[in-house]
Amino acid sequence: MPPGWRIAEREATPESRYLGRRAFVRAAAALGLVGTVGGCTQYMVGQRPDGGTLDVGWTGDSDAPPPPPPPTGDTWEMQHAGLYPVARNATFSVPERPVTPEDKATTYNNFYEFTSSKTYVKEKVELDKFTTRPWTVVTSGLVETPQVLEFDELVRKLPLEERLYRFRCVEAWAMTVPWSGFVLSELIKLAKPLSSARYVRFVTANKPIEMTGIFGCPECPFPYHEAMRMDEAMNELTFVATGIYGKALPRQNGAPLRLVIPWKYGFKGAKSLFRLDFLDKQPATFWPRLSPGEYDFLANVDPDVPHPRWSQAREMLIDDGNYVDTMKYNGYGQYVASLYG
């Protein structure tokens, strides 16, 4: 029997029928139903244009560089088409299941800054005219010197490779995807964190004019923010994807760059990454703030730990709708189990 969270295509579910996982829509229309709101500033409450402290219970941001101007110009896909495909790292393979077809993986996505409908995200990023150029990545907090890194230069400076990873959503669906990009540890080395940094917070783009789903959820602490322990972030599996299926990453999948953490549930993988903050204390993160009884900080894939409203023992492959057994750490225990021993 399919889990109760599944919805029909192109539907945004009303509050009365939408349960815990989407708790943030309690006081708003479902994300993605709001088109435009006149007179709204480009920056939401909680993200100051001067780059100062974000009003979401965070610390250590006062010396951060200002955010970049609104992106203009050609799309990320056009500018970086020549970078792909890249060589596949054969170490990372998924022999027990086929690669998910590209048209499935690029049309079934969670991206609440646009809409709550997984099958409508691709169309919604077009309607919202979401731009991904120019793009910079800010590093701040406990670092030698805060930096603003030009992504056009960054993606050509770091070694790119392709990795085939299992992807497991907390909603109990899964896919197998060939991501292109670089290991996060390479970016962290460029950031030069201090020895006192024990956590990395990842802050995503916050452009309500181009991500109009943000207007539909005044309760939500946008920009989307996630975090990891430093030892997790430096693990060889933790990946920054800039491409998929031998092409530049499309906007609905988190362009121009997103995190891919294959042993954790998908909500840990921040999309359209804008900022890395290095901290000495564990920060609050988006979903545990909204529904602390359903989501935890680590969010490791574990078939023996059910979600409060459904089992995590099995997962649906979006390729064909068939169900398979969930593997602990999503099958990556040899790389990460020692982190939690």
pLDDT at 82 over 60: yes
For all residues of the chain together, what is the average pLDDT? 83
Dist. CA 240–CA 256, nearest whole Å: 10
Looking up tokens 């170490």 gives: 91
Contact 298, 199 (CB under 8 A): no
pLDDT at 72 over 50: no
Q: 184 Cβ partners below 8 Å, 6+ apart?
A: 233, 234, 238, 239, 240, 259
- The model's pTM is 0.80
pLDDT in tens, 140-154: 999 999 999 999 999
Dist. CA 27–CA 125, nearest whole Å: 24
Q: Which domains does the chain have, with CATH numbers?
A: 29-340 (3.90.420.10)
pLDDT at 58 over 80: no
Contact 242, 271 (CB under 8 A): no
Higher pLDDT, 72 or 274: 274
Contact 183, 236 (CB under 8 A): yes
pLDDT in tens, 197-246: 999 999 999 999 999 999 988 899 999 999 999 999 999 999 999 999 99
Paired tokens of 306: 């059910």
- Phi/psi at 242 (5° precision): -120, -5
- Judging by beta carbons within 10 Å of its beta carbon (0-12, 13-18, 19+), is residue 146 exposed, middle or buried? middle
List the beta bridge partners of residue 111: 115
Q: What's the mean pLDDT in 87-94?
A: 97
pLDDT at 34 over 60: no
